Amino acid sequence: MAMQYRIGEFSTLSGVSTKTLRFYDEIGLLRPASVDSRTGYRHYRPQQLEELASILALKNLGASLADVRQLKSAASYGTSRRELLSELKNTIEQSIDAATQTLQCVNAALAELEVSRRPIPVVVKHLDAIPVACVRAEVKSYSHILQFEQELLNALPPDCVGDLRGVLWHRCADSGALDGEPFVALKRKVSSRTYDVKLLPATTVACAYSSLDDESAERSYEAIRKWMGIRGYKIAGPKREISLGQMLEIQFPLKSA
């Protein structure tokens, strides 16, 4: 008679709960050596302790149960095991990198709480390309750009103007002048000599919000700059300011990195 255990004893011997053992049976990961056809009782054998140990060992290295099950049915044990371990290695390395990054961000957030009561939230976002009409202009003051925006709106047939509008800010060599480019989204194609029609490229941005006054906007700009600095991001193209009624959304395009 071959030695065999019922599920409870196998559970205490292996340190794995009966629920887990039943679950492993259910998903075909570790089937009992035999099942009493009348009572349904599961019976395990000593060798299955080792089999279970090999499952747990892989699980402890981060493998999913699906991975382990797949490995058992694999043709060439050595090869696929190596592949699995390599994948696990990559996954772990990536997660360590990500966690290290996140840790720095948390530390930065804690530091910021010391100086600011209400830190300004910054988030990343992927934007699709947008067809727009726009005019580029150098202005001396921020409010001056609003005139150009109005002119742009007036020059467009009203039925093709989308809801989205804003300003692109190009880098100016601190010459005292601002190089802005108001734009409005287009619902359909138009063409004209008074304005440009182009496609704002798809991009990933870091963004934050502000109210309409300069001071608030400047705080948001600063928050984004700091945020990017911590994460090592670089700016990639003109900043965007999106009008949202009483609010402003400020976007810094990021290098895809």
Partner DNA sequence: ACGACCTTAACGGTGCGTTAAAGTTT
Partner DNA sequence: CAAACTTTAACGCACCGTTAAGGTCG
Binding site for a copy of itself (CB under 8 A): 2-3, 9, 12-15, 46-47, 49-50, 53-54, 56-57, 60-62, 77-78, 81-82, 85-86, 88-89, 92-93, 95-96, 99-100, 102-103, 105-107, 109-110, 113, 117-118, 121-123, 125-128, 163, 207-209, 244-247, 249
Distances in whole angstroms, Cα of residue 227 to Cα of each of 1, 118, 119, 187, 206: 69, 15, 11, 34, 9
Residue 81: name its binding partner from DNA, a copy of itself, none (Cβ under 5 to 8 Å by kind): a copy of itself
Site string for DNA, 121-150 (x = CB under 7 A): ------------------------------
Q: Write down the residue that tokens 């990559």 correspond to.
A: 90
Say whether residue 6 binds DNA (CB under 7 A). Answer: yes
Q: How far is the CB of 188 from a copy of itself (least distance, A)?
A: 18
Sole binder of DNA in the list 13, 49, 65, 71 (CB under 7 A): 65
Confirm if 145 and 93 have CB atoms less than 8 A apart: no
Provide the CB-side half-sphere exposure for 59 (13 A, CA): 12
Say whether residue 102 binds DNA (CB under 7 A). Answer: no
Give which of 222, 201, 209, 219 is closest to 251, Cα–Cα. 209
Say whether residue 87 binds DNA (CB under 7 A). Answer: no
Say whether residue 14 binds DNA (CB under 7 A). Answer: no
Instruction: Choose the stretch contacting DNA; rule: CB under 7 A; options: 57-65, 144-152, 209-217, 224-232.
Output: 57-65
* Interstrand relation of 203-211 and 247-254 (parallel, antiparallel or unpaired): antiparallel
Report, in angstroms and rounded to the nearest whole number, the Rg of the chain calculated over CA atoms: 31
Nearer to a copy of itself, 27 or 106 (CB): 106
Say whether residue 31 binds DNA (CB under 7 A). Answer: no
Polymer length in residues for the chain: 257
Say whether residue 82 binds DNA (CB under 7 A). Answer: no
Say whether residue 19 binds DNA (CB under 7 A). Answer: yes
Q: Which residues, in sequence order, are bridge partners of residue 184?
A: 133, 165
Say whether residue 17 binds DNA (CB under 7 A). Answer: yes
Sole binder of DNA in the list 38, 117, 189, 193 (CB under 7 A): 38
Write out the E strands in the chain: 5-6, 34-35, 42-44, 123-127, 130-134, 137-139, 161-170, 178-186, 196-200, 203-211, 239-244, 247-254
Give which of 188, 154, 181 is closest to 166, Cα–Cα. 181
Q: How far is the CB of 163 from DNA (least distance, A)?
A: 12
Sole binder of DNA in the list 4, 13, 18, 80 (CB under 7 A): 18
Which residues have C-beta within 8 Å of that of residue 140, sequence separation ≥ 6?
A: 176, 177, 178
Enumerate binding residues for DNA (CB under 7 A). 6-9, 11, 17-20, 22-23, 36, 38-42, 59, 64-66
